[in-house]
Structure formats: structure tokens, C-alpha cells
Chain A
Amino acid sequence: MTDLTLTPVQTRQSHIGKAVLRWSLYILLGVFALFYLMPLFVMVTTSLKSLEEIRTGDLVALPREVTFEAWRTAWSSACTGIQCEGVRPFFWNSVLIAIPAVTLSTLLGAMNGYVIAQWRFRGANLIFSLMLFGCFIPFQVVLLPMARLLGMMGIAGTIPGLIFVHVIYGLGFTTLFFRNYYVSIPAELTKAAKVDGAGFFRIFWSIFLPLSLPIIVVTVIWQFTQIWNDFLFGVSFSQAGTQPVTVALNNIVNSTTGVKEYNVDMAAAIIAALPTLLVYVVAGKYFIRGLTAGSVKG
């Protein structure tokens, strides 16, 4: 209505107004992006400088001379306490912990979600509420009982022990994700499969898992980030030789004697963060889609 009555001058003014608004928005967003990218920028540039340059130069300046020496040191010869093998062995520990723990917790979460959403047995809601409650128990609370339990099971200080802890702790979240995804799938689908003769596992494998790609991606990203970045469980339930990369990073930063090798610290930190970054870049698109998607159109 109002548009029709505007004179040409007014329309032009409103066009200009819109453009100004738009560009201020872009500038604001750009500033925020720069602000958040700043630490990463400093980390990357610092890791590429020599110690000499760090001492004499400016924190935010680009390196005068690019050297990968610090990366090499961080990867294979930096000292974590008495041992000087870099983060490499710990990086592999983390891989050995994260991959099985993510796989298992995702699969079990999918199964739990499927049972709770589609097989509505007596008490299903109660069990689901309890699992949800489990999501919100702080890490610190479970430390001592868990240490005791791992000891009794004979897997204290081992990589399987850490996998176990992460699977248990992750189940609440993974179950929540899958349950919420599966409740939106019509119950008639399960009924049709039952009439077709399929059993519990068959329906899960042939019908529900193939439907679940978006939510699997969400869960995997979530779990991988949690487990890879975990420090508390890593430091509490490991021993020399089974520590994850986060613990090693802490040790590198804390155990330097004499001069602080900032470039090595930075390189080690980036190495430790790289896998989670990679997962986001590769699967981030699905992450957004999976969080918003839910219903399945037949």
C-alpha cells in the first residue's frame, strides 16, 4: 500500500537506506569474523616463526622468514615431561580412543533411540528421562566411582578403559539425538515391516539406519569433538603411554624448562585441534541440515 504512494525521490532514498543498512551489517559481521580469527592467525604465524623472531618481533606481524622447524619439533621431539617424542604418540592414542568410542557410542545411541522411540515398552519414558539426566551430571562427579569401576574391570589406565568411559558418558547425548529423530518417523513404518516379517534388528538395519544419515553426522561431530577435546577424563584415567593428545599438549606447555618455546606450543596446539576442525569442514554442511531436519516424508 505505502509503496504505491511513494514519490520517486522517496523510493530512491529508501533504496539507499537499505544499502547502507546492508553494508553496515556486512562490516559488523566482518569485524566479528576478524575478531574470532585473530587468535588462530596469531597461532599460525607464531608457529611459523623462529624463536629469535618471536623475541624481537611483533606478536601480530607476519613471519619474516617461514620455518616449519617448530612443527617438526612439536610433532616428533618436544618434551612432555621426561619423554621427548613430541605429540605424535599421543595423537595416535587420541585416534585410537576417539574412533572406537565415537563409533560405539553413536551405534548404541542409535539403537537406544530406536527402542525408546519405536518400541515404546513399559517404562521407556522413565529410562529416557534418566538417560537425559545423565547428560547433565558434571564430569567431576563421576571421576571417583569411575576410577573404582575401571579398576574392578581391570582396564584402569588403558585405552579400552578410556573408550569405555567416553562411550558411557556419551550415551545420554547420542540417545537423545537419535530418539528425537526417530519419534518423528511414523509408527506405521515399523508396523509395515513387522507384517512383512522383519524382526527388531532387521527393521533397525534395513529401515532405520539408512534413514539416519543426517543425525549420524550430527552425532559423530558432536561425539568426536567431545572425545577428542576431552582433558579431564584423559588426565584422570590414563597413565604414561596411554595419554591423549590434549594431556600431552598440556605437558608440553608446562614442562619446558628455561626459554618458553612459543612457536612449538602453538604448533602443538594446532596439531591437537586439527582433527576437529577437519571434521567440521568435511561434515559441517550436514551438521546444520541434521540439526534442523527431522521428519521423513514417505
Chain B
Amino acid sequence: MSPILEISNLYKNYGSTEILKDINVSINAGDFLVLVGPSGCGKSTLLNCIAGLEPITSGTLNIGGQDMTNVSPKDRDIAMVFQSYALYPTMSVAKNITFGMKVRGVDPATQERKLQQVAQQLQIEPLLKRRPGQLSGGQRQRVAMGRALVRDPKLFLFDEPLSNLDAKLRVEMRTEIKSLHQNLGASMVYVTHDQIEAMTLATKIVVMKGGVIQQVGSPAEIYNRPANLFVADFMGSPAMNLIPAKTRSNGDGTHIEIARRDGSQIVLKDRRNRDLPEDVIIGVRPEDIADPARASSSAGQEADCLIDVIEPAGADTYAVMQLGGKHVTARLHAETTATPGATQRLSFDLGKVSYFAPDTGLRLN
């Protein structure tokens, strides 16, 4: 089966500024691709290029196996939900949803049937006669979704559809979008700068920075094996601990030395033999630094650490300390005995440790 969307060597310039550089992405039917990255990295621009709302400077862009470079948005068989929703202010909700069908000359009976179907699906039946100005943010968001869903396109494009909602509604809508995707089996490209949204929704994630793709992979790959320091730091909350360390190899594995604040060292041992330079940055997720009692696997290596700050977060308590000159976060039991200013015995699990080169920032293992 050919990919539903295939982008190769895409470049996009505005005037003389390069906004997107050498973008290569492809997704299969039914995939949920999430584009994630900090503000201004070119996510919306890439989405607009896919939609045909912005011309591409070079490269190729195929949808459903067909070259789309010179195809106008209306003939690309896509539907898009915009960040600002972009509902037509003078039309009722019903007219907003059916506008696309009306323009395409779909007969009124079909329009009505599809409208009812989508309205029911999104639970917006009571709103159909209202104007967008008379809706709440969440309701507008649903209408914008409805306008896309009613079209039944080959590819859905979403530009940060949840960023204007409050935290609670955002989580609800996130679940709803996920179940929508599962029920429809539709292919989607979804832009967000919220890495949690990216992790929960995606079957495939593209992490971007400054118009360049940093990594493409499944949520698990991105989370467990970040390709560079940027991805490691960007994905995950609290962020991955990135600790400068020294390595020493001998026959039975790698010794990792991390400096405490008082000048003493924690020495951890990675049993696998690695070919590493002497200076590295090791990446350890907060959940891999735990109370010894909680650490499930026997892989944990214990060490004493001086705790600076305790941050209770309900289900867990985060403990912040200083290692290798950096703040390091550990994820502890909610009922941990750790107290600020006191030494606490912690268990380090190096099963999923990442090594990065300090100079290039690239992953070493």
C-alpha cells in the first residue's frame, strides 16, 4: 500500500528566509501524525504546504500517491481545522458545516443527512441555528471539527485545535479526538506544541526545531530513544534529566561518574559494553530515579543524594537535587520520607539510559 502522504526534500522559503529545510515525512492510511515543536518552528507552515495554502519552494508532496505540487487546496481531498477555528461569522452553525458541500454542489438531502450525522456525533444538535459569535470556545471547536468531519476526506489536518481551550476541556477533547480517530480509521496530521498531546494522540511523531526535523518515530521511540538533546529535553514532563558525566570502560561494562555538589562522585555502572567518549551527557528520565523501595527491577543502583527541593504533585512527589552541575529531578512515592536539605538514598535505573555527545548533542547509543 502506498503512503497516504509522502513528503520528500521539501523546502519552503518566504522571500530569502528558509522556513522549512529538507522535510521528509511519510504516513500510511490510518496513521495519526503529530507535528510538534516550539513556537515559530514552522509547523503551521508545513501544514499549510500540505493543504496547498502555501506553495512549496522545492521538493515533492504526494497525497494518496498523486503529486500535489500544483493542485489547489479544494482538489486535494483534505479537511482542515484551524487554530482560530475560522468559522464563518455571518453563517449559522449548520451553514458553516454545510458550506463546503454547498460549494461542491452536493444535493440538499445529502447535505442535511450528513449534517445531522455529524451534529449527533459531536453533540452539537442544539447549536445548529446559532451564529459562531454565540458559542463558547469549546463549542466553536466542535463546530470547526464538524466542518472537517462532514467532508469525509482522505486526510485531516489539524492546526493546534485545542490550544485555545482551558486545561480541563483540552484533556476531554483530546480523548474525543483520539476516539474519533480510532472510530473513523482516518489519516490525520495534527500540529501542536504540547508534547503531552503529541504523546497521547500520535501513532507517529515528528519533532521539529527551526524548520528542521529533529526526529521521526513512534511515541515510544521518541520518548525512550531521543535522537538528540533537543528532543530529549522537549519531550516528556518533567523533562529528561541531562547530566554531564565521565565514562570509563573496562571489561565488564561502562562506569559512569557523576559529580555531586560537594565534589564527591556517584559511580554508576552500565553493564553493556559501549564505545563512548570520555565526556558525555547522560539522559535519565525522572521515573528512572526512584526510591529504592519503589524501584521494581533489580537493575537499580543505589546512591545517596542531597535533596534540595520537594515538589508534591499528587500521585507522585518530585525531588530536585544537583548532580553534574545540573538540576536533576527524581520521581518518588507520594508518601516519600525525603525532606529538603537531607540526604536520601535513591535508586538509579540505567536500563533506558541515553548518551549524548556534549558538542554535537547527538545520541551516542
Interface on A for B, CB 8 Å cutoff? Answer: 186, 188-189, 191-199, 202, 206-207, 210-211, 296-298
CB pair A198–B99 under 8 Å, yes or no, is yes
Known contacts A211-B89, A298-B89, A195 near B103 by CB under 8 Å: no
Report the 9 A-B pairs with minimum CB-CB distance, sorted nearest first. Answer: A196-B100, A197-B74, A192-B86, A188-B86, A210-B90, A197-B103, A188-B82, A194-B73, A195-B80
Q: Which of B51, B80, B104 has the most CB of A within 10 A?
A: B80
* B68 to A: closest C-beta gap in Å: 13
Least Cβ–Cβ distance between A14 and chain B, in angstroms: 43
CB distance from A13 to the nearest CB of B (A): 48
Contacts of B133 in A (CB 8 A): 297-298
Taking a contact as CB atoms under 8 Å apart, the answer to whether A207 and B78 are in contact is no
**A191 touching B89 in the complex, CB below 8 Å, given contacts A186-B84, A196-B147:** no
- B residues neighboring A (CB under 8 Å): 48, 51, 53, 72-74, 78-80, 82-91, 99-100, 103-104, 132-133, 140, 147
Note all chain B residues with C-beta closer than 8 A to A191. 48, 51, 53, 73, 80, 82, 86
Please tell me which one of the listed residues A186, A195, A199, A296 contacts residue B53 in the complex, with CB atoms under 8 A apart: A195
Whole-angstrom CA separation of A202 from B103 in the bound complex = 8
A188 and B100 CA atoms in complex are apart in Å by 15
Whether A193 pairs with B48 at a CB distance below 8 angstroms is no
CB pair B51–A196 under 8 Å, yes or no, is: no
Bound: A56/B73 CA distance, A: 79
Given A195-B53, A195-B73: A298 in contact with B86 (beta carbons within 8 A)? yes
**A192 B89 Cβ-Cβ under 8 A:** no
Would you list 23 pairs from A and B whose C-beta atoms are within 8 A, ordered by A residue? Answer: A188-B83, A188-B84, A189-B86, A189-B88, A191-B51, A191-B80, A191-B86, A192-B82, A192-B87, A193-B88, A193-B99, A194-B53, A194-B72, A194-B74, A195-B51, A195-B78, A196-B74, A196-B103, A206-B88, A206-B99, A210-B90, A298-B85, A298-B132
Say yes or no: B90 contacts A211, CB within 8 Å: yes
Chain B residue nearest to A209 (CB atoms) is: B90
Task: Chain A residues near B74: list those with CB within 8 A.
Answer: 194-199
In-complex Cβ contact of A298 among B51, B84, B100 (8 A): B84
The complex places the Cα of A9 from the Cα of B315 at a distance, in Å, of: 64
A183 shortest CB reach to chain B, Å: 16
Complex Cα spacing A264 to B359, Å: 94
Complex: chain A residue closest to B90, CB-CB: A210
**A298 touching B140 by the CB < 8 A rule?**
yes
Q: Is the pair A207, B82 in contact by a Cβ cutoff of 8 Å? A: no
Q: Which of B74, B84, B86 has the most CB of A within 10 A?
A: B86
- With A197-B100, A298-B140 as contacts: A192 and B80 at CB distance below 8 Å: yes
- Report the nearest B residue to A296, measured CB to CB: B89
Residues in A neighbouring B79, C-beta threshold 8 A = 195
CA distance A198 to B14 in the complex (A): 25
Q: Give the docked Cα–Cα distance between A32 and B323 (Å).
A: 79
How many A-B pairs with Cβ below 8 Å? 70
Q: Which residues of A contact B78 (CB under 8 A)?
A: 195
By a CB distance below 8 angstroms, the chain B residues around A206 are 88, 91, 99
Distance (Å) between the CB of A54 and the closest chain B CB? 55
Bound together, the chains give a CA A45 to CA B213 distance in angstroms of: 81
Cβ A207 vs Cβ B90 within 8 A: yes
Report the nearest A residue to B85, measured CB to CB. A298
Most buried by B among A191, A194, A207, A296: A191
A197-B74, A298-B133 are known contacts; what are 10 more A-B pairs with Cβ within 8 Å? A188-B86, A191-B51, A191-B80, A195-B80, A197-B100, A199-B74, A207-B88, A210-B91, A298-B85, A298-B132
Q: Write out the residue numbers on chain A whose beta carbons fall within 8 Å of the beta carbon of B132.
A: 298
Which residue on A lies nearest to B78, using beta carbons?
Answer: A195
Query: In whole angstroms, what is the CA distance A1 to B80 when docked?
Result: 55
Residue of B nearest to A210 (CB): B90
Return A256 CB to nearest CB of chain B, in Å: 54
Q: How far is the CA of A135 from the CA of B78 in the complex (A)?
A: 43
A-side contacts of B85, CB under 8 Å:
298
**Complex contacts, B140 vs chain A, CB 8 Å:** 298
With CB as the reference atom, state the residue of chain B lying closest to A197. B74
| A202 vs B140: C-alpha distance when bound (angstroms) | 23
Say yes or no: B104 contacts A197, CB within 8 Å: yes
Distance of A104 from chain B, by nearest CB (Å): 24
Q: How far apart are the CA atoms of A189 and B88 in the complex, in Å?
A: 7
Taking CB atoms, residues of chain B closer than 8 Å to A197 are 74, 100, 103-104
Cα(A198)–Cα(B84), bound, Å? 19
Q: For residue B103, which residues in chain A have a CB less than 8 angstroms away from its CB?
A: 196-198, 202
Bound-complex Cα distance A191 to B87 (A):
11
Q: How far is the CA of A10 from the CA of B91 in the complex (A)?
A: 57
Q: Are B89 and A297 touching (Cβ within 8 A)?
A: yes
Which residues on B sit within 8 Å (CB–CB) of A193? 88, 99
B147: chain A residues at CB < 8 Å are 192, 196
Closest to A198 in B: B103
Contact of A196 with B99 in the complex, beta carbons under 8 Å: yes
Give the distance to chain B from A208, nearest Cβ to Cβ, in Å.
9
How far, in Å, is B224 (CB) from chain A's closest CB? 36
Q: How far is the CA of A296 from the CA of B85 in the complex (A)?
A: 13
* Bound Cα distance A192, B140 (Å): 14
Residue of A nearest to B81 (CB): A192
- Measured between beta carbons, the chain B residues less than 8 angstroms from A188 are 82-84, 86
CB distance from B144 to the nearest CB of A (A): 8
Most buried by B among A192, A194, A296, A297: A192
Chain B hits for A198, CB < 8 A: 74, 99, 103
Task: Across the interface, name the chain A residue whose C-beta is closest to B135.
Answer: A298
Cα–Cα distance between A195 and B83 once the two chains are bound (Å): 14
A135-B129 Cα distance, complex, nearest whole Å: 43
Per the bound structure, the CA–CA distance linking A230 and B107 in Å amounts to 50
Cα A296 to Cα B91 in complex, Å, equals 13
Q: Which of B80, B88, B103 has the most CB of A within 10 A?
A: B88
Closest residue of chain B to A196, judged by CB? Answer: B100
CA distance A211 to B133 in the complex (A): 13
Q: Chain B residues with Cβ under 8 A from A186's Cβ? A: 84, 86
Complex CA distance for A207 and B91, rounded to whole angstroms: 8
